[in-house]
Structure 1
Amino acid sequence: MAKATADPVAGTTFVAPRQALALWPVLALIPYALVLWILHGDLGGVRPADLSLQLYFSAMLLYLAGMLAYFIYFAYRRESFRWLGLAVVIPGVALHLGAIVARGIADQHYPLANMYEYSSMLALVAVAVFVLMSLRYPVAALAGGPALFVAVTLMGIGFGLYQSPEPLVPALQSYWLKIHVTSMMTASGILVSSFVFAALYLVKDRSLRRVSAAAGSAVRSRLPSLETLDRLTYRAILVGFPIWTFGTIAGAIWGEHAWGRWWGWDPKETWAAITWMIYAIYLHAHGMRAWRGRRTAWIATAGFVSILVTLYAVNLWIVGLHSYARGAG
């Protein structure tokens, strides 16, 4: 027996298996049980570095469970699955924060000194921002699956770049580490949401422009309206861009303290400036009605690609003053 559910966005009806949907309270217990299994040992006797990794993987597991719940919510529009997603993702955020705190204890310094720690913080902020946006704008929950997929991917990349706890290199032994790097990671995490909404805008826009009326109808009917996706993209950038601006200025001040110059066209500085210009162009273009929509969505997507280049490509493959961020191995 199946139960028909109405789509509040498009007014269409989907059919969901009643038995499968009725199991959601039971399904919610599965990721919790797996997390308890991961953390079953005597936490008091675990080294901070090992505890950090346990919490890291526990958070990743809960994010994966939340991603599945949000994809089901996207398909069937059952509110129970939206709340299930929140029920597993919010504890995941708490565990993830615990992982970062434990990592800081293991490091004996602020845990933002290498690519693993950057990726962890970036994913945490991205998920936290998504949770806040979905609570403030419930329609944003429809992007939960892609948003958590991006966060889990970042965590996977971070673990692939894992560095054991080690002392700070001299260049990072400054209070500006907390100010500059935290602001850049916060801005980047917020701008992850703008990328997700912009990408979904482009997906829906393409489905609307396809020749066949039937082609792409499923995606078209389930996604929010183009206006809603554009508005969510804009609001995320409106918050993230000033923080990126502040972080870039803080980096210039730190550069003057550490290297005796405000700006030296180091690859990291150059790409941070390129990213800033892309988002500045987005905000300017969004104010022009003729550019608002598909063009600004592409600009927002380009901005996220530039962030990835700034945070990963420059640190890993381009030699510069910021090369220490890749870690010592």
Structure 2
Amino acid sequence: MAENIESWAKELPIAYQRRSLGENLRREALWVTGLSAAALYILAQWGAQFGYWQYVVLASWYVALLLGGMAWRPLQWTVLATALPALAAVWLYAHGQTPANDWLLRYVLQGVAAVLWMSAFLLFATLAYLVHAWTGQAAIGRWATRLTWAGVIFGFIGLGVRWRETYLGHPSWGHIPVSNLWEVFVLFCASTSLFYLYYESKAENRSLGAFVMPLVAAAVGFLLWLTLVQHMDQIEPLIPALQSFWMKLHVPMMFVGYANFTVASLIGLAYLLGNWSTRHGGALAARLPSPEQMDEVMYRAIALGFLFFTVATILGAVWAARAWGGFWSWDPKETWALIVWLNYAGYLHARVVKGWRGNSMAWWSFLSLWVVSFCFLGVNLFLSGLHSYGKL
């Protein structure tokens, strides 16, 4: 176990150590070729209908997936495991199949069905992580990771198929499925679980799942309530303000920020409880990564989340100027987004410039969860404004 952050970085597996661009391209030639072929196919099929910004959206997704897959190889298999079933569902719809007459669509690949599978897998994964943290049994931990991967894959399958399904009711309704609370909670559950798996692999410790995944399970419970009680899984046309290509960039990037902030907050909780366990002779500390590792993972998650949250906020301001005539209106959602941004800017300043470490930063990370949660959900539920379309 490393004794400081710098030595821990040297102990990371080779897959996480810095490589040159040429080495990355050689190692990931299949990924680069496949992703490039997919982008060229999209251009050949629909490029004639693209405006300038559609090229920007495609290029942004291409670069993000390319770099993400090169930095973390499991992402490549996730994209493949998501895309192939989603495309199979699109093919079934294109050939006249519906959930009413095709069992595969009805029970597995339909957007809502896939989300229900995601929910089941993530709930079982949460239970497995808790048992693993309590017993320390490695086999249960491995199953917890596998169940989480299954949940992530089914979540993104559900979103991909739902994107196609938005066009089925009426072609003018078609939109990326991030337009209401139900859809963004699916995105939140899948993306938070995916980023947790990334940081789990970096820390090489599965006991962190006992802290992160219960919140994902709570989000799954809320999602099931939205589905079974509020029936928010129904596809509806977009309001005019949301009928914009900006949604394809702004919302996914915002949720990369939310996911990383959430993971960092709960690793902060693990850090605090691990220290408490050390002082009181408990067994928890022995099952968690070292404090230095958890501090570093918190920092990296917040730094990545802050980058994406900053870009998403800027894009949101540009979108607001086009939709409402001004870059900033002090709408409650905008105000709370600024509060979140200032909070994490303060964290990064304290850590990078002032050199703060340890309990104080773990408390900062953990308590920030409440700020992020209110920005993400509380504003939609309790405040009104230009973003009121997110209400129940």
TM-score (norm 2): 0.67
Please say if 1:137 is aligned against 2:197: no
Identical pairs, percent: 30
Change (3 A) 1:240 1:173: same
- Counterparts of 1:103-252 in structure 2, within 5 Å, are 103-107=162-166, 108-139=174-205, 141-162=206-227, 163=232, 164-209=234-279, 213-214=280-281, 217-252=282-317
Q: Distance in 1 between matches of 2:333 and 2:253?
A: 15
2:57 is matched with none
Please say if 1:270 is aligned against 2:329: no
Residue 157 of structure 1 deviates from its aligned partner by 1.6
RMSD: 2.4
1:280 is matched with 345
Instruction: Please say if residues 277 and 283 of structure 2, whose CA atoms lie closer than 8 Å, have aligned partners that are also in contact.
Output: no
Residue 146 of structure 1 deviates from its aligned partner by 2.3
Q: Distance in 1 between matches of 2:147 and 2:224?
A: 21
**Structure 1: which 4+ aligned runs deviate by more than 4 Å?**
none
Residue 87 of structure 1 deviates from its aligned partner by 2.2
Q: Distance in 1 between matches of 2:105 and 2:333?
A: 40
Change (3 A) 1:44 1:84: closer
Q: Distance in 1 between matches of 2:313 and 2:370?
A: 18
Moved more, 62-71 or 117-126: 62-71
2:12 is matched with none
Moved more, 69-78 or 87-96: 69-78
Residue 226 of structure 1 deviates from its aligned partner by 1.8
Unpaired segments ≥5 residues, structure 2:
3-98, 167-173
Q: Distance in 1 between matches of 2:177 and 2:122?
A: 22
Unpaired segments ≥5 residues, structure 1:
1-7, 10-38
Moved more, 130-139 or 226-235: 130-139
Q: Distance in 2 between matches of 1:194 and 1:137?
A: 13
2:118 paired residue among 59, 62, 66: 59
Moved more, 317-326 or 281-290: 281-290
1:93 is matched with 152
Partner of 1:93, secondary structure, is helix
2:137 paired residue among 78, 82, 86: 78
Moved more, 180-189 or 281-290: 281-290
Change (3 A) 1:289 1:207: farther
Instruction: Please say if residues 203 and 293 of structure 2, whose CA atoms lie closer than 8 Å, have aligned partners that are also in contact.
Output: no
Change (3 A) 1:275 1:75: same
Instruction: Please say if residues 241 and 276 of structure 1, whose CA atoms lie closer than 8 Å, have aligned partners that are also in contact.
Output: yes
Change (3 A) 1:226 1:109: same
Q: Distance in 2 between matches of 1:131 and 1:85?
A: 10
1:87 is matched by which residue type in structure 2? R
Q: Distance in 2 between matches of 1:285 and 1:102?
A: 43
TM-score (norm 1): 0.79
Residue 310 of structure 1 deviates from its aligned partner by 0.9
Change (3 A) 1:142 1:44: closer
Q: Distance in 2 between matches of 1:102 and 1:225?
A: 41
Q: Distance in 2 between matches of 1:156 and 1:73?
A: 22
Partner of 1:265, secondary structure, is coil
Q: Distance in 1 between matches of 2:355 and 2:151?
A: 41
Change (3 A) 1:218 1:177: same
Equivalenced residue count is 283
Residue 276 of structure 1 deviates from its aligned partner by 0.4
Residue 75 of structure 1 deviates from its aligned partner by 2.8
Instruction: Please say if residues 115 and 325 of structure 1, whose CA atoms lie closer than 8 Å, have aligned partners that are also in contact.
Output: yes
Partner of 2:266, secondary structure, is helix
2:284 is matched by which residue type in structure 1? V
Q: Distance in 2 between matches of 1:96 and 1:279?
A: 28
2:103 is matched with 43
